[in-house]
Amino acid sequence: MSPGPVTRSIGRAATRIPGIRRIPVLKLLAAAEIGLLARDHVMRLTPDERRRLIKLVGTAHGRPANLDQAQREELAELVAKLEPRLLAGEAVGRLSPFPIPRRITHGPRDRR
Express each pLDDT in 56-101 by its tens digit.
Answer: 999 999 898 999 999 999 999 999 999 999 999 889 888 888 888 8
From CA 90, how far away is CA 96, in angstroms rounded? 10
How is the chain split into domains, by residue range? 24-111
Residue 107 in contact with residue 85, Cβ under 8 Å?
Answer: yes
Percent of the chain clearing pLDDT 90 (strictly above): 45
pLDDT for position 84: 92
11 Cβ contact partners less than 8 Å away, ≥ 6 residues apart: 3
pLDDT for position 5: 74
pLDDT digits (tens, 9 = 90+) for 18-57: 666 666 877 888 888 999 999 999 999 999 999 999 999 9
